[in-house]
Structure 1
């Protein structure tokens, strides 16, 4: 009888991205791995799902790992839905998403395809973790992350997670981490700018640019932890209800 945990691996950078290949290798040390990931980069897709286009999903071989792998034309959230509904014969014991090439701390969690895949797994009742490294380079060094990813994943498998909660894990771009900080999400946002241009046919188009602004000076946030060379872990819930405002709202003249 096989007592190994079943682990679903996905991401938003595409199935051949170095980040997910590293994550797959680590998960193969822990359990039986099935990979369902986008066939091309899906960064910034958030929790989008495919409705008005045909959705494809095909089994492929990427390397010599023992895992089964499927590439999908859909979004990260689509990949989790397909895995649960069409590919797996039972619910996974764990879903891990990443390792993302770039930060998913603070407000970035809202836009992140990586974290949306983890959240979708959480909606399905699967313990889930999103992993990200603050390095956007395709050739980023993921080696220092491996032992910490394994430790966090094993803890989730052993301890479980509360219903409706997933973990958002971010790594600073350094070789040696000071440790791990359990944090809250920093209050920050992007100040967008649009670079307005005109193409040769005279049509106006835009490139989105901008800068990240952290208004939160707290030392208990993910941004503080990362700036001070700690791994940040933020427990994320997908119940968006502002519970603290319900009483006030009930006293309005509605």
Structure 2
């Protein structure tokens, strides 16, 4: 991989696959800011979370989809893509920025746990790379990302300029439509999916199940990502990968463990 010293190196990843419209739009913005290397799954990997491939070989091949862009398709998960990029393409010399997305569909609130888009960005942060995940409230393959681009650019530029606090990354979500009111720094809303499994029958009358559900917001705060998106703002949530419940340590220390 070649490097131009005057421009930052930017790793672009996603979970919707290397041919998804969202990653094309992210690449176009990233090209304005630096030297772009793309490593993305060879097919959709939504909902994979932080899964990695350990039971079968991983493969990645260089492809030529967009002029002037160094691109690789990977047989693995979004997290695999980041690991391979750091170890085999950048060869341990970390990129200056990792951007993931733009995802087709929101990754606000609890969705950050399940998201392959965000897990790729989390892996970037684990590697010590300033990382951002971008998502749009539109699942359509014909989604319009044009209103997102100026926000992607300014947020990425600020991260390149200032860096991020240790062990922290950004989760950025865009409402659908071009009437955006600006950016709000938010916390993750206390919301969850009330899931159901729709039982159906295959042609052999064997049952199978299709996951459905309703998103339930139990958080009435006006400082959350859900509130911001519902009111036309771009939500920016700082995310950490330290899952320790620090507030619970004093509680556990008050218990008596008789062994």
TM-score by length of 2: 0.96
Task: Give the 3-state SS of the residue equivalent to 1:29 in structure 2.
Answer: helix
Counterpart among 11, 19, 39 of residue 14 in structure 2: 11
Shift of 1:215: 0.5
1:94 aligns with 2:102: no
1:157 aligns with 2:189: no
What is aligned with 2:59? 56
Counterpart among 247, 252, 256 of residue 249 in structure 1: 252
- Consecutive unaligned residues of structure 1, counting only runs of 5 or more, are none
Shift of 1:163: 1.1
1:233 aligns with 2:236: yes
What is aligned with 2:44? 41
What is aligned with 1:129? 132
Task: Give the 3-state SS of the residue equivalent to 2:157 in structure 1.
Answer: helix
What is aligned with 2:82? 80
Task: Give the 3-state SS of the residue equivalent to 1:54 in structure 2.
Answer: coil
Distance 1:172 1:226 in 2: 5
1:177 aligns with 2:180: yes
Deviation string, structure 1 residues 175-227 (Cα, Å, up to 9, x no partner): 12101000000000000100112222232210111110001000000000000
What is aligned with 2:25? 22
Deviation string, structure 1 residues 74-98 (Cα, Å, up to 9, x no partner): 0000000000011114200000000
Shift of 1:58: 0.4
Deviation string, structure 1 residues 12-60 (Cα, Å, up to 9, x no partner): 0000100000000100000000000000000000000011122110001
Distance 2:198 2:247 in 1: 39
Structure 1 segments, 4+ long, off by >3 Å, are none
Shift of 1:70: 0.3
Distance 1:174 1:221 in 2: 20
What is aligned with 1:69? 71
Task: Give the 3-state SS of the residue equivalent to 1:28 in structure 2.
Answer: helix
- Consecutive unaligned residues of structure 2, counting only runs of 5 or more, are none
Shift of 1:236: 0.2
Distance 2:28 2:205 in 1: 49
Task: Give the 3-state SS of the residue equivalent to 2:48 in structure 1.
Answer: coil
Counterpart among 211, 215, 220 of residue 212 in structure 1: 215
Distance 2:203 2:102 in 1: 39
Superposed counterparts of 1:187-226, under 5 Å: 187-226=190-229
Distance 1:17 1:8 in 2: 16
TM-score by length of 1: 0.98
